[in-house]
Structure 1
Amino acid sequence: MSILNLGIVAHVDAGKTSLTERLLFDAGVIARLGSVDAGSTQTDSLDQERRRGITIKTAVATFGIGALTVNLIDTPGHPDFIAEVERALRVLDGAVLVVSAVEGVQAQTRVLLRTLRRLRVPTLVFVNKIDRAGADPDRVIGQIAGAVPMWREHEEQLAEADDEALAAYLHDRKIDVGRLTAQARVMPAYQGSAITGAGIERLTGAIAEHLPKAPQDAGAPLRATVFKIDRDRAAYVRVHAGTLRVRDRIGDEKVTAIDGRDRLGPGEIGRVHGLRRVRLGDTIGGGQAHPAQVFAPPTLEATVEPDDPARRQDLHRALQQLAGQDPLIDLRLDEERGELKVSLYGEVQREVIRDTLAEDFGLAVGFGETVTLHLERPRGRGRAGVVRGRDGNPFPATLELLVEPGEGVQVAIAVPVEHVPMYVYKTLQHFHEAIERYVRDAFARGGRHGWDVGDVRVTVTRCGYEAPNTTAADFRKLVPQLLTRALADAGTVVCEPVHRFAIEGPANALTATLAALPRFGAVPEAPEAGPARFTAAGTIPAARLAELERALPGLTHGEGTVEAGFDGWRPVAG
């Protein structure tokens, strides 16, 4: 059996969910076509999705193309829910990028294009809405570098992809488009309408013919990825290699059930029960436990309070549960002020969290002003430690931590295994995982200035215990105390998020635009100017981007556009 795990990605309102609906209908999975406007689509099952007409949570549906089984993964298009798209990209064999024939390539389209290329995800382009007034599919295809309309007259363009394709073209042989697509050298482009069904049969044929199928390696060691977690803690898992069976033990947990089956083989996706401690993005079996983040982290934060002060604990538990379903809803407690804060991508996400708390948990809440998140980094190296039985240390444990600048949050163990209480942690790997958890929990409470601590490396340089009195709780309580002291020793610097921007506008507006950029804290680079248009790029503090967007129409006579994406963190001036 051949399996293809297919993602549908797009800028919001390009017709992504409508295409999903059309594919399911044409395959006979659903009896009638649903409508996004009417809130009757198969994959937008949440009440909020139906009301808002947008996808919020990744949904999975299955259909067949001949002998091929396609697990279709419908992802959100709104940028506030980019974290859902990130998790889907980790489990795909291929993708369809949907672009509107009317609006063309939009800001989110460009973000997705860059990411699909960087991750080398085999991709087809579907230019949708050709039935709408103002549609210009040829113009849209021309906006996407690497997209090749799949008609005979474009084989010369395909031949430029590599030497093998050129040889096939010169000898009048068929070019292997599937190979070029699988290697992410080209993105075959199709056009049609998800509403009328025009062009869908051709797209379906290309999905089966040109996108690579999931590798079938049932005899290999298990390797699987968790890409979605439901409210009941059931985990959606994609198996890359090996087999996951009911009653398999994963760490100290056991798979108790898999919806509709007793095992998942390579390439298969299933809803797995019993793994209540897994987190989104976790790898089950071999492989990297937490792969590098694909998209930018959220850069906004807001305080949330229950309308009824007596329900603060209920709110805390509800937000913890939501954060378990989406780790980029980063929840932190400002202990000094006693405030609960959540990190956000934007205002729509904030509204969704508010409505979810009301509808699913019966909690009416209010949000404070949305502010820009900052990050604390260590300035240098700092060290702190305690020895059991000395200097008033109340814990029967020895622990020393070294803090220094790093990338992300890294934890290393630099002590002999015999210095670790193996009767508590069983393996050095379990000790490492526990210390990393304690470190991340401590940093999430805020550093010396109250912000999350990041870009830091923490190394355990000394460890000791007193059997059988030492427990895991001793290390759990020591870690945050020692980190506070080590950070004070290292010093920290507060950093603000910075976006990279690109402005396009009419050539006669270049001088005014460049002169205005410093007002917004932007640092421009040398512009590119042509006879009709200019492009100016640079960096700008995330908190000032909205000001630039509001000012741009006046600077460019209403003809300018700006794209921006997270570029990193930089120290706050002064």
Structure 2
Amino acid sequence: MHMLNLGILAHIDAGKTSLTERLLHAAGVVDELGSVDDGSTRTDSLALERQRGITIKAAVVSFAVRGATVNLIDTPGHPDFIAEVERVLGVLDGAVLVVSAVEGVQAQTRVLMRTLERLRIPTLLFVNKIDRRGADRDRVLREIAERLTPALVPLGSVTGSGTRAAAYAPYADSDPAFTAALVDRLAEQDDEFLAAYLADEAKASAGGQLRRRLAALTSRGLLHPVLFGSAITGAGIDALLTGIATLLPAAGVDAEGEPSGTVFKVERGPAGEKIAYVRMFAGTVRTRDQVGFGAGDDRRAGKVTAVELFEDGSCVRADALAAGRIGRLRGLGEVRVGDPLGAHPGPAGEQRHFAPPTLETVVVPRDGAGRAAVHLALAQLAEQDPLINLRQDDLRGEVSVSLYGEVQKEVIQATLADEYGVAVDFRETTTICVERLCGAGSAVEVIAKPPNPFLATVGLRVEPGPPDSGVRFELAVELGSLPLAFIKTVEESVSRTLTQGLHGWQVLDCTVTMTHSGYWARQSHAHGTFDASMSSTAGDFRHLTPLVLMAALRQAGTTVHEPVHRFRLELPNDAYGPVLPLLTRLGALPHAPVPHGAGCLLEGEIPAAAVHRLEQRLPGLTRGEAVLEYAFERYRPVRGATPERARTDHNPLDRKEYLLHVQRRV
């Protein structure tokens, strides 16, 4: 029996969780179907998920079908919780992308499909809700071809569309129209098949060859079979189960290799203990094993106290977690989401598949809730969702969190109240900008030369880097000129300092080179006691580096960039005139309109900060007929006044203020 780790993904309300429930019922895991509306589904286990009828956290459930064991991961569909999807992608062998037969291809559907194709994750498309009024098979297929991928292969027909009697009938291999269409699709993607087909058409098509070729190309992410059905009535579910078992590839297994896996989720048990969800790529982890996790200097270790596997809809104790499987490990107290587990990182690594959060807000304790309690609760939430990205402002005693949207803010508020007993409010949501270097700059401060009060010499040069290159730290000094511990201190201080540039925003995509170094070796008195006043310490380098780096940044200069979304707006023709001035006032850059059905289509870019206002105004200007999609595109220079962000450090831009707050004072 082979193993398959399968993700179920969709735009919100496409019926993803209902489909998961139906698959579990068809596989015999649950006797009665749960309902999203009633809050009785197996994978929506959080109280908040049951109350709101949406998936917030990824959930794992296992079932057996057609000789395969499937670990099914139900993911959130709301874009505010895309971080949960982010972490799941790296552990999948295949995916089912759910599309509504009524609403068709939606904004999040496109974002997910682009990512699945880029990562070459084998994907089946399941068009759900064929029993709902307005369901239209042919229209949805056209939308999929135009807006998702042309590499699709419909595997069946629908009868009774839009009624409770809607049914799905898979195409037979003897169907000449299906065979011809399948041959065309295979030939487009597989030159070897095309050559074999031209040489001997009958042989290339005989004995299930076409289906095997389809499975091979699907497993490589080159073709996407499309099935239809209804999670509510069960239509098409047997065909989907067959497709999952026969068209998607089994998990790659290296049972004899060193243990290697990825932590894609962390939650806390009833006693506050951490539980790590792990996908193993190689080797085996057993109870009482000492395992390492994390990477580089952030390497940690822990002893596994318990192993749990997902089997037949439940989680059961086991002795070991083997390659190809997903399970839960207990006992790893310092584990974090995204940690590679074992000797080598798995394929998931630390890739970023989706855009970072572009919003932030300050969390304000309510009704006398202590700041310490709020910070502790938020820190534990950040363990489960690192993209919350806590920003501690010690000067003002405030904590900020990063967000994808307003719904996420509501969920954080409810979670803090329900699970931690902490009541909070939020300040107005603001946009997260970034800074980029205008040019190159350098600065140096030499030991024992005023105005440098520290026993350290540090010289730094900053230069712009290519987009998305991150921050690179390089050495232009001899390796033996400075102890390695001091070099690491400078590197860490550079990374920490660049989280707040000249205007208070994080500085992206640059190279920082250490050009000068110097220190005083350890000095002792005659009786052997250490004399800090005569010896360089890591603190000297930690405190001097921000001053030097900020001086270099001043010389280079920075510009503030704001996040910009790519938008796609479908409008009635008569609404184009009123909407265009609104887009202009909001700072959008629309392209020329193009005809689209009975209306027109506008595409372009709009500042992330203006999207919410656009959403509020559109219904009134378009009689509620506008359809807006948007997704993060890039950062662009801010127009007009430069936004400043309040600093949370001791401001190395103000030398006097800074030196008053560090350990060594002038």
Whether TM exceeds 0.5 here: the answer is: yes
Alpha carbons 1:44, 1:55 under 8 Å: kept: yes
- Structure-2 change in CA distance of 1:201 and 1:460 (3 Å): farther
Q: Any residues of structure 2 matched to 1:21-36 within 5 Å, and which? A: 21-36=21-36
Which residue does 1:411 correspond to in 2? 472
Q: Deviations over 1:183-242 (max 9, x none)?
A: 222211111122222211111111010001111223445542221121343322212234
Structure 2 residue identity aligned to 1:413: E
Per mean C-alpha deviation after superposition, the further-off stretch among 346-355 and 314-323 is 314-323
**Mean Cα deviation higher: 120-129 or 327-336:** 327-336
Equivalent position to 1:303, from 362, 366, 384: 362
Q: In terms of mean alpha carbon deviation, does 487-496 or 454-463 score higher?
A: 454-463
**Equivalent residue number for residue 53 of structure 1:** 53
Q: Which amino acid aligns with 2:216?
A: R
- Partner in structure 1 of residue 314 of structure 2: none
1:508 Cα deviation (Å)? Answer: 5.1
Between 1:550-559 and 1:69-78, the stretch displaced more is 550-559
**Residue 47 (structure 1) shift:** 1.1
Q: C-alpha distance in 1, partners of 2:407/2:242? A: 37
8 A Cα contact 1:402 1:459, kept in partner:
yes
Q: Structure 2: which amino acid aligns with 1:155?
A: T
Corresponding residue for 2:98?
A: 98
**1:352-383 CA distance string (max 9 Å, x none):** 11111112222111111112222222222233
| CA pair 156-534 structure 1, distance change in 2 beyond 3 A | farther
Structure 1 contact 6–96 (Cα < 8 Å) conserved: yes
**CA shift at 1:19, angstroms?**
1.4
Q: 1:567 to 1:366 in 2, by over 3 A?
A: same
> Aligned partners of 1:398, 1:262: CA distance in 2, in Å?
54
Preserved CA contact (<8 Å) 1:255 1:272: no
**Alignment correspondent of 2:338:** 281
Which residues in structure 2 correspond to 1:105-184 (within 5 Å)?
Answer: 105-145=105-145, 146-150=151-155, 151=171, 152=175, 153-159=177-183, 160=185, 161-162=188-189, 163-166=191-194, 167-168=196-197, 170-171=201-202, 172-173=205-206, 174-175=209-210, 176-184=213-221
**Does the C-alpha gap of structure 1 residues 74 and 460 become closer, same or farther in structure 2, counting only changes over 3 Å?**
farther
Asked if 1:330 is matched to 2:354, the reply is: no
- 1:254 and 2:307 matched: no
2: CA distance, partners of 1:471 / 1:328: 34
Moved more, 134-143 or 40-49: 134-143
Q: Secondary structure at the match of 2:435?
A: strand
Question: Which residue number in structure 1 is paired with residue 166 of structure 2?
Answer: none
Structure 1 residues 392 and 514: alpha-carbon distance in aligned structure 2, compared to 1, 3 A threshold:
closer
Output the amino acid matched with 1:265: A
Equivalent in the alignment of 2:325: 268
1: distance between equivalents of 2:437 and 2:325?
A: 43
SS at match of 2:28: coil
Deviation at 1:165?
4.6
The whole-number CA distance in structure 2 between the counterparts of 1:55 and 1:230 is 16
Residues 211/420 of structure 1: CA separation in 2 closer, same or farther (3 Å cut): farther
Quickly say closer, same or farther: Cα 1:225–1:481, change in 2 above 3 A: farther
Question: 1:437 Cα shift?
Answer: 5.2
The letter for the 1-side match of 2:421 is: G
- Structure with the greater alpha carbon radius of gyration: 2
1:178 is paired with a residue whose SS is: helix
Residues 2-60 of structure 1 show CA distances to partners (whole Å, capped at 9, x for unaligned) of 21110000111111111112222222333432221111211111111111111111111
Percent same amino acid among aligned pairs?
53
Asked if the contact 2:360–2:432 (Cα under 8 Å) also holds between the matched residues in 1, the reply is: yes
Q: Distance in 1 between matches of 2:462 and 2:482?
A: 20
CA separation of 1:188 and 1:480: change in aligned 2, threshold 3 A: same
- The match for 1:341 is 400
Q: What does 1:237-248 correspond to in 2, within 5 Å?
A: 237-245=278-286, 246-248=289-291
The 8 Å contact of residues 300 and 373 in structure 1, kept in 2 or not, is answered as yes
**Corresponding residue number in structure 2 for 1:210:** 247
Is 2:262–2:346's contact at 8 Å kept on the other side of the alignment?
A: no
Deviation at 1:483, TM superposition (A): 3.6
8 Å contact kept, 2:474–2:511: no
Change beyond 3 A, Cα 1:358–1:558: closer
Indicate how the Cα distance of structure 1 residues 224 and 393 shifts in structure 2: closer, same or farther if over 3 A, else same: farther
Distance in 2 between the 1:112 and 1:195 partners? 24
SS at match of 1:314: helix
1:109 aligned counterpart, secondary structure: helix
In structure 2, distance between residues paired with 1:133 and 1:289: 41
- The match for 1:428 is none
Unaligned runs of 5+ in 1: 426-430
Q: Tell me, which stretches of 5 or more residues in structure 2 are unaligned?
A: 146-150, 156-170, 294-298, 309-317, 523-534, 641-666
Cα separation, partners in 2 of 1:218 and 1:502, compared to 1, 3 Å: same
C-alpha contact 1:158 1:165 (8 A) present in aligned 2: no
CA contact 2:437–2:557 (8 Å) conserved in 1: yes
Query: Per-residue CA shift, 1:237-279, capped at 9, x if unaligned?
Result: 2122344452234444134235234443332222234544444
Q: Measure the CA separation in 1 of the matches of 2:420 and 2:360.
A: 22
User: Do residues 234 (structure 1) and 286 (structure 2) align?
Assistant: no
SS in 1 for 2:370: helix
TM-score, normalised via structure 1 length = 0.89
Please point out which of 223, 244, 262 is paired with 1:186.
223
Secondary structure at the counterpart of residue 512 of structure 2: strand
Contact 2:281 2:346 in 1 (8 A): no
Name the CA distance, whole Å, in 2 between partners of 1:453 and 1:402.
14
**Residues of 2 paired with 1:335 and 1:394: CA distance?**
25
CA contact (8 A) 2:460 2:516 kept: yes
In terms of mean alpha carbon deviation, does 401-410 or 122-131 score higher? 401-410
How far apart in 1 are the matches of 2:5 and 2:348? 21
Q: Is the 2:106–2:629 contact (alpha carbons within 8 Å) kept by the matching residues of 1?
A: no
- Note closer, same or farther for the CA distance 1:269–1:531 as it changes in structure 2 (3 Å cut): closer
1: CA distance, partners of 2:543 / 2:4: 47
1:264 counterpart letter in structure 2:
L
Q: Deviations over 1:321-376 (max 9, x none)?
A: 22222111121134554432111111110011111111222211111111222222
- Mapped pair 1:382 → 2:382: no
- Where 1:144 maps in the other structure, the secondary structure is helix
Partner in structure 2 of residue 317 of structure 1: 376
Q: Give yes or no for contact 1:421–1:467 (8 Å, CA) kept in 2.
A: no
What's 2:527 paired with?
none
- Residue type of the alignment partner of 1:503: L
Partner in structure 1 of residue 42 of structure 2: 42
**Cα deviation, residue 510, structure 1:** 4.5
- Which piece of structure 1 moves more, 236-245 or 58-67? 236-245
Contact in 2 for aligned 1:3/1:70 (Cα 8 Å): yes
Is residue 2:511 matched to residue 1:457?
yes
